[in-house]
């Protein structure tokens, strides 16, 4: 599929202070930390990584980059965003600060409805122009793979337009790799309020086949919650999507548990996302499956919900967990994935190791990408270098932009100007 495969450069990264590799272990397994390390990338893939004392002789001659003692992780994976949109919604932010809820704003024509009307009025070129710097900003936080959803179109041509924007941006070498998801069932458009079934039929009979025909999305997602789609509506859409070859995702249990989590597990979905209101049956279902629990603590924070997904229970029961930004103009306006690491620790109760795994290997599993989020031979040559004295500072020294170099497929796609001072306090 799209996923902007980098053709691949050759790069030898030396003098890494701490090389942090989540590896392929269980979610709560300790991270592998190698001090004074290297990563050798050839033709865009990792060929070796380990202590400098093990550096293979034939790596000599490869273009080298000294990490200068900085901390290296595999490029971060932001596995849930709505990064293609038109206007921002700071006016709604103020309304929420004044006491309005996300649902009240939506009922008054704001929320997703505002973004839909705005997107309809914009050209594909305009959306490419607006989305490019937003995705480039992700790379500045060390993110090298971003999932991007449609869902502000809610009409066939408009959904296709959004996904074509993603496809165009996916070819740009300076941006992170993009994984496109079709979310035609993001909200019921106002014109279908009296006949929801007709909209579900439109998604199933027209939108999904059109997206499949142009190979514009790899996953199909549905917002299954109060005020969005019911469990049965979600099942109709996801079953058709599976028949057409899409991987499956679901937004579920953000506000009210409707059974979407169990449905997603039953259908073998790659991930269930949100889970703030998941019940015990949902946790049990996830614990016994390969479906990743994708948690979005920035959204609970930004919506001032005072309620967070039960990350500790999910981890203790053995579920795979990912953390993502949910970057979107209404409920989580940030590309800072490391902030989600801090939230994962302080609001959700994860350990530093778990939270870092959740933005690397966890995100990769949520996108069914086995070749990233780790630094083993064969993995994509995506590496982020951070200006911190110890990897735990990535959560502990929170809210900061610690990334100094972002590498995608052995090519530097972003470097902090001037390099900065080492280990600022
Ligand atoms: Zn979302």
Would you give per-residue pLDDT tens digits along the chain (425 residues)?
445 454 689 999 999 999 999 999 999 999 999 999 999 999 999 999 999 999 999 998 899 999 999 999 999 999 999 999 999 999 999 999 999 988 889 888 899 999 999 999 999 999 999 999 999 999 999 999 999 999 999 999 999 999 999 999 999 999 999 999 999 999 999 899 999 999 999 999 999 999 999 999 999 999 999 989 999 999 999 999 999 999 999 999 998 999 999 999 999 999 999 999 999 999 999 999 999 999 999 999 999 988 999 999 999 999 999 999 999 999 999 999 999 999 999 999 999 999 999 999 999 999 999 999 999 999 999 999 999 999 999 999 999 999 999 999 999 999 998 765 555 43
Dist. CA 242 → ligand 1 center (Å): 20
Between the CA of residue 308 and those of 253, 275, 322, 347, what are the distances in Å? Answer: 11, 8, 14, 7
Report the predicted TM-score, pTM, of the whole model to 2 decimal places. 0.96
Dist. CA 82 → ligand 1 center (Å): 6
Q: Are 71 and 391 in contact (CB under 8 A)?
A: yes
Dist. CA 421 → ligand 1 center (Å): 36
Dist. CA 85 → ligand 1 center (Å): 13
Dist. CA 77 → ligand 1 center (Å): 15
Domain 77-366 falls in which CATH fold? Answer: TIM Barrel (3.20.20)
Dist. CA 70 → ligand 1 center (Å): 33
Dist. CA 80 → ligand 1 center (Å): 6
Where are the CATH 2.30.40.10 domain residues in the chain? Answer: 11-74+372-415
Dist. CA 331 → ligand 1 center (Å): 9
Contacts of 250 (CB under 8 A, 6+ apart): 221, 222, 224, 234, 238, 260, 261, 263, 264, 269, 271, 272, 273
φ, ψ at 6 (rounded to 5°)? -75, 135
Dist. CA 99 → ligand 1 center (Å): 22
Dist. CA 248 → ligand 1 center (Å): 14
Provide the pairing of β-strand 71-74 with 383-386. Answer: antiparallel
Per-residue confidence (pLDDT) for residue 7, from 0 to 100 = 62
Contacts of 256 (CB under 8 A, 6+ apart): 225, 226, 277
Dist. CA 14 → ligand 1 center (Å): 38
Q: Which residues pair with 127 in a beta bridge?
A: none
* CATH classification for the domain delimited by 11-74+372-415, as one of 2.60.40.10, 2.30.40.10, 1.25.40.20, 2.40.50.100: 2.30.40.10
Per-residue confidence (pLDDT) for residue 2, from 0 to 100 = 43
Where are the CATH 3.20.20.140 domain residues in the chain? Answer: 77-366
The position carrying tokens 């993603």 is 166
Provide the pairing of β-strand 219-224 with 247-252. Answer: parallel
Dist. CA 275 → ligand 1 center (Å): 12
Dist. CA 250 → ligand 1 center (Å): 9
The angle that helices 156-169 and 124-139 make with each other, rounded to 10 degrees, is: 50
Dist. CA 54 → ligand 1 center (Å): 43
Contacts of 139 (CB under 8 A, 6+ apart): 174, 175, 176, 406, 408, 413, 414
Dist. CA 64 → ligand 1 center (Å): 39
Dist. CA 30 → ligand 1 center (Å): 29
φ, ψ at 28 (rounded to 5°)? -95, 5
Dist. CA 422 → ligand 1 center (Å): 36
Q: Which residues surround ligand 1, an ion (CB under 5 A)?
A: 326
Q: Which residues pair with 294 in a beta bridge?
A: 273, 322
């Amino acid at each position: 599929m799209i996923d902007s495969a980098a053709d691949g450069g050759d790069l030898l990264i030396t003098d890494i202070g701490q090389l942090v590799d989540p590896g392929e272990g269980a979610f709560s397994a300790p991270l592998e930390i190698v001090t004074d390390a290297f990563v050798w990338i050839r033709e865009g893939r990792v060929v070796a990584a380990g202590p400098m004392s093990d550096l293979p002789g034939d790596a000599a001659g490869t273009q080298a980059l000294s990490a200068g003692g900085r901390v290296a992780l595999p490029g971060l994976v932001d596995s849930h965003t709505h990064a293609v949109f038109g206007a921002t919604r700071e006016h709604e932010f103020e309304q929420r600060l004044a006491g309005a809820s996300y649902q009240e704003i939506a009922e008054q024509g704001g929320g997703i409805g505002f973004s839909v009307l705005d997107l309809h009025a914009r050209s594909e070129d305009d959306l490419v122009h607006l989305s490019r710097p937003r995705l480039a900003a992700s790379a500045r936080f060390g993110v090298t793979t971003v999932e991007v959803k449609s869902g502000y179109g809610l009409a066939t041509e408009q959904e296709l337009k959004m996904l074509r924007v993603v496809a165009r941006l996916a070819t740009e070498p300076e941006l992170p790799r993009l994984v496109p998801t079709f979310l035609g069932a993001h909200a019921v458009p106002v014109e279908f309020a009296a006949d929801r079934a007709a909209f579900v039929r439109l998604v199933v009979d027209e939108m999904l086949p059109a997206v499949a025909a142009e190979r514009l999305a790899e996953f199909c997602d549905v917002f299954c919650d109060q005020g969005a789609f019911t469990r049965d509506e979600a099942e109709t859409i996801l079953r058709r999507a599976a028949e057409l070859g899409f991987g499956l995702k679901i937004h579920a249990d953000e506000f009210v548990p409707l059974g979407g989590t169990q449905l997603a597990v039953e259908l073998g979905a790659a991930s269930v996302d949100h889970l703030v209101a998941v019940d015990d049956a949902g946790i049990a279902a996830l614990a016994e499956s390969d479906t990743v629990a994708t948690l979005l603590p920035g959204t609970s924070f930004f919506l001032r919900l005072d309620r967070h997904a039960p990350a500790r229970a999910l981890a203790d029961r053995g579920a795979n967990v990912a953390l993502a930004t949910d970057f979107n103009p209404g409920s989580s306006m940030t590309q800072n994935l490391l902030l989600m690491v801090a939230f994962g620790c302080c609001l959700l109760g994860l350990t530093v190791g778990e939270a870092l795994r959740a933005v690397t290997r966890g995100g990769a599993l949520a996108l069914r990408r086995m070749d990233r989020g780790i630094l083993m031979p064969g993995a994509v040559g995506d590496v982020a270098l951070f200006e911190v004295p110890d990897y735990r500072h990535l959560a502990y020294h929170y809210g900061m932009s610690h990334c100094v170099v972002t590498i995608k497929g052995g090519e530097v796609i972003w470097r902090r100007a001037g390099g900065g001072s080492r280990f600022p306090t």
